[in-house]
Amino acid sequence: MNIIICIKQVPDTETKIQIKPDSSGIVTEGIKYVVNPYDEYAVEEGVKIKEKFGGEVTVISLGPERAKEAIRTCLAVGADKGIHLNDPAFEGSDSYATAKILAKAISQIPFDIVLTGKQGVDFDNSQVFAYLSRFLDIPFVSVVVGLELSSDLKSATAKREGEGGDKEIIQVQLPAIIAAQKDLNQPRYASLPGIMKAKKKEIKNLSLSDLGLSPDEVGLKGSRVKIENYSQPPERKAGRIIEGEEPAEVCEKLVKLLREEAKII
Amino acid sequence: MSIWVIAEQKDGKLKKVSLELLSLSKKLKEKTNQDIGCVLLGDNLESFTQTLGNYGADKLFLIEDQALQNYSNEVYSQAIADLVKEHSPKIILGGATAQGKDLLPLVAAKLDAGLAIDCLDIEIDENSKLICTRPMYAGKVKVKCTLESSIQIASLRPNVLEVLPPDTSKQAEVVKVKPRIDPNSLKVKLLEVKKEARGKIDLTEADVIVSGGRAMKSAENFKLLEDLAEALGQATTVGASRAAVDSGFAPHDIQVGQTGKVVNPNLYIACGISGAIQHLAGMITSKCIVAINKDPEAPIFQKADYGVVGDLYKILPILTDIVKKLKAQE
Ligand SMILES: Cc1cc2nc3c(=O)[nH]c(=O)nc-3n(C[C@H](O)[C@H](O)[C@H](O)COP(=O)(O)OP(=O)(O)OC[C@H]3O[C@@H](n4cnc5c(N)ncnc54)[C@H](O)[C@@H]3O)c2cc1C
Ligand SMILES: Nc1ncnc2c1ncn2[C@@H]1O[C@H](COP(=O)(O)O)[C@@H](O)[C@H]1O
């Protein structure tokens, strides 16, 4: 099995995000970056598939120089190789342009399954896998919480989260894209030998010219969504603590407030 | 020119967000004088004609086929893309529901279009360019964006915009469409839908959510939350923090937060939840937040409209009783 995993480096979920004074973007100084949490499930699943069926796991990431750390993190938990799509021309790419670049790189190598996260927790787009599915002309299943490959490796059965907790069991022909949801597995921690080995694994750099794309197809120019300005939503303020001697008194007061002041029950 | 709304139904029921989308489209229509096309997919859809017309659809495309009875991104997106190519609407709006989040990206991909997902508001300028307001970074940031493609696609977060009153005299022109589906070319096949036994509405569409955290201590104790939710009425359901989910007290699909669901109810009651930033990311836009926590220093109180400092095991049964009595009086 040739397993490809798309991973993105994103701000740690604890990070406070600040807007630049001219509203043109976010302040990137001081941000701590991590592997997108959903992509960790994708990586774990890829490594599990390799352990079961054999093959090779390639992690691929589009991002600036710092994204190498994220690739390295994935190599430490069992991925074999990294591809870093690293070119200043890629900067500002939206999901559409990102998928175009990823697709170009992926189609240069053999692949049987492509794993992604269900969402990047930075832009919260949930789109890259869909555009990727079109550019690679293969199907996708998103919000996947269970995955089983057929023994002939020609298809997979995916369990996806539908609405209201319903689970859809979907059979998909391979190659396909699987977008991981949190419940898919329990990502392992990197072991010390894993971290040591990762240092020797290959990370290949690919730039615009390596991919045969034109500058107009990538970055802001190649994007379909144009962000006009950024703003910080107003902070939610603390309301009031409902005082009372007895729980019953407090509850009565609460219900009265919800009914008469907030008018919601 | 026209604005299209991809409406959504499930098991004979129309999603409320479809009406929110039609109401929004009426506002966009006022400004640009485009007519409103509405697309609904499934099998036997006639019963929705009246409602969709009354709420603003000028033209209603019913894409009906047995193969569409159950949702599949492959067939649904193809049917929509084919219809779009035939009629050339320039604006397509849908709901950021569980289905919409899977479907619209693929529709956009097939039409080579840009998509603004999960919008909180959608405006239009005189050149019929959409201006979409959407959250990023788990709601820590809001952006306004435009779409640089000849077809503009946006999805709207449920429960954010109002539904305008219907006009019962208004009818939609109905166009029935038979999708071209070649069963042999399909690469995706739905084998089964395992229905969730709770049979509750999806958290993203709930009006009231009662959520529990680590303090719930067991799956059994979630009964306390269910009882309160039930007492509070119809579109209510139960949610959980990640700590509660990871401890095995609740299934993952009811987790609220950055790696769970982003919810937007009228009332969110957080019980025994401390209010970590990743949890807040999922519920901070709730219209009213109530926190029940025994620690007066819990960060959740900084964001709650009403706080109750106390033991949830004492508070919840009493609260449920009072609500029940109140509702019984009506
Ligand atoms: C990448 C990442 C993603 C994450 N995503 C999410 C997410 O999507 N959703 C999420 O919720 N978290 C998420 N988290 C976890 C988050 O950081 C917190 O750990 C989690 O929200 C804590 O859950 P909790 O409030 O239930 O538990 P705790 O923080 O342990 O709080 C329990 C609270 O219960 C109170 N309490 C105890 N006993 C009682 C009682 N008898 N009566 C009343 N109150 C009582 C305590 O005072 C305390 O405030 C994420 C973390 C990371 C790193
Ligand atoms: N720059 C990127 N490099 C590699 N993979 C990406 C990149 N951006 C998004 N992805 C993948 O696409 C998924 C969905 O991202 P998004 O559409 O941005 O929410 C992520 O979880 C990643 O797996």
Q: Domain check: are A99 and A154 in the same one? A: yes
Q: Domain check: are B216 and B166 in the same one? A: no
Q: What is the mean pLDDT of chain B?
A: 96
Does B191 reside within a domain? Answer: no
Does A70 reside within a domain? Answer: yes
Does A224 reside within a domain? Answer: no
Atom of ligand 2 nearest to the CA of A85: 3
Q: Domain check: are A253 and A159 in the same one? A: no
Does B256 reside within a domain? Answer: yes
Q: Domain check: are B221 and B293 in the same one? A: yes
Q: B197 pLDDT exceeds 80?
A: no
Task: Record the pTM.
Answer: 0.96
Does A233 reside within a domain? Answer: no
- Ligand 1 pocket residues where CB is under 6 Å: A 13, 37; B 213-215, 241-244, 255-260, 272-274, 276, 278-279, 282, 292-295, 298, 311-313
Q: B198 pLDDT exceeds 70?
A: no
**Residue A220: alpha-carbon gap to chain centroid:** 20
Q: B199 pLDDT exceeds 70?
A: no
Q: Domain check: are A93 and A52 in the same one? A: yes
Q: pLDDT tens digits, chain A, 265 residues: what are they?
A: 999 999 999 999 999 999 999 999 999 999 999 999 999 999 999 999 999 999 999 999 999 999 999 999 999 999 999 999 999 999 999 999 999 999 999 999 999 999 999 999 999 999 999 999 999 999 999 999 999 999 999 999 999 999 888 999 999 999 999 999 999 999 999 999 999 999 999 999 999 999 999 999 999 999 999 999 999 998 899 999 999 999 999 999 999 999 999 999 8
Does A127 reside within a domain? Answer: yes
Q: Domain check: are A104 and A195 in the same one? A: yes
Mean pLDDT for the stretch of residues B124-147: 96
Residue B296: exposure state from Cβ atoms within 10 A (0-12, 13-18, ≥19): exposed
**pLDDT value of residue B188:** 97
Does B260 reside within a domain? Answer: yes
Does B71 reside within a domain? Answer: yes
Mutation target to probe the B interface, by most B beta carbons within 10 A, among A114, A118, A264 is: A264
Mutate to test the pocket of ligand 2, among A4, A7, A8 (most ligand atoms within 8 A of CB): A8
Phi–psi pair at A103, nearest 5 degrees: -60, -40
Using the mean position of ligand 2's atoms as its centre, give its distance from the Cα of residue B129 in Å. 27
Q: Domain check: are B158 and B213 in the same one? A: no
- Please report, for the domain that includes residue B102, its CATH number: 3.40.50.620
**pLDDT value of residue A164:** 84
Residues in chain A closer than 8 A to B101 (CB atoms): 126, 142-143
Q: Domain check: are B56 and B6 in the same one? A: yes
Mutation target to probe the A interface, by most A beta carbons within 10 A, among B9, B11, B159, B187 is: B187
Q: Give the residue whose CA is nearest to atom 29 of ligand 1.
A: B274
List the domain range (segments joined by +) for residue A251: 238-265
List the domain range (segments joined by +) for residue B278: 203-328
Under an 8 A CB cutoff, do A233 and B142 touch? yes
- Torsion from C-alpha of B229, B232, B237, B241, nearest 10 degrees: -60
Cβ B253 vs Cβ B226: under 8 Å: no
Under an 8 A CB cutoff, do A250 and B302 touch? no
Q: Domain check: are B149 and B180 in the same one? A: yes
- Please report, for the domain that includes residue B214, its CATH number: 3.40.50.1220
Smallest-distance ligand from the CA of A123: 2
What digits encode the pLDDT tens for the residues B212-228?
999 999 999 999 999 99
Q: Domain check: are B132 and B17 in the same one? A: yes
Mean pLDDT for the stretch of residues B58-64: 98
Phi–psi pair at B327, nearest 5 degrees: -70, -30
Using the mean position of ligand 2's atoms as its centre, give its distance from the Cα of residue A100 in Å. 12
Mean pLDDT for the stretch of residues B126-139: 96
Q: How many separate domains does chain A show?
A: 2
pLDDT band at B205 (very low <50, low <70, confident <90, very high): confident
Question: CA-CA distance, A127 to B117, in Å (whole number)?
Answer: 9
Does A226 reside within a domain? Answer: no
ipTM of the complex: 0.95
Under an 8 A CB cutoff, do B200 and A259 touch? no
Mean pLDDT for the stretch of residues B6-35: 95
Kindly identify which residue of chain B lies nearest to residue A157, measuring between CA atoms.
B191
Under an 8 A CB cutoff, do A264 and B147 touch? no
Q: How many separate domains does chain B show?
A: 2
What digits encode the pLDDT tens for the residues B71-89?
999 999 999 999 999 999 9
pLDDT band at B11 (very low <50, low <70, confident <90, very high): confident
Mutation target to probe the B interface, by most B beta carbons within 10 A, among A127, A147, A221 is: A127
Residues in chain A closer than 8 A to B309 (CB atoms): 241
Q: Domain check: are A242 and A113 in the same one? A: no
Q: Domain check: are B165 and B212 in the same one? A: no
Q: Domain check: are B208 and B281 in the same one? A: yes
Q: Domain check: are A119 and A79 in the same one? A: yes
Q: B275 pLDDT exceeds 70?
A: yes
Identify the residue whose tokens are 């040739």.
Answer: A2
User: Is A31 an 8 Å CB contact of chain B?
Assistant: no
From the CA of A196, how many Å to the nearest CA of chain B? Answer: 30
Local structure of A116: helix, strand or coil? strand
Q: Domain check: are A139 and A252 in the same one? A: no
Q: Domain check: are B255 and B284 in the same one? A: yes
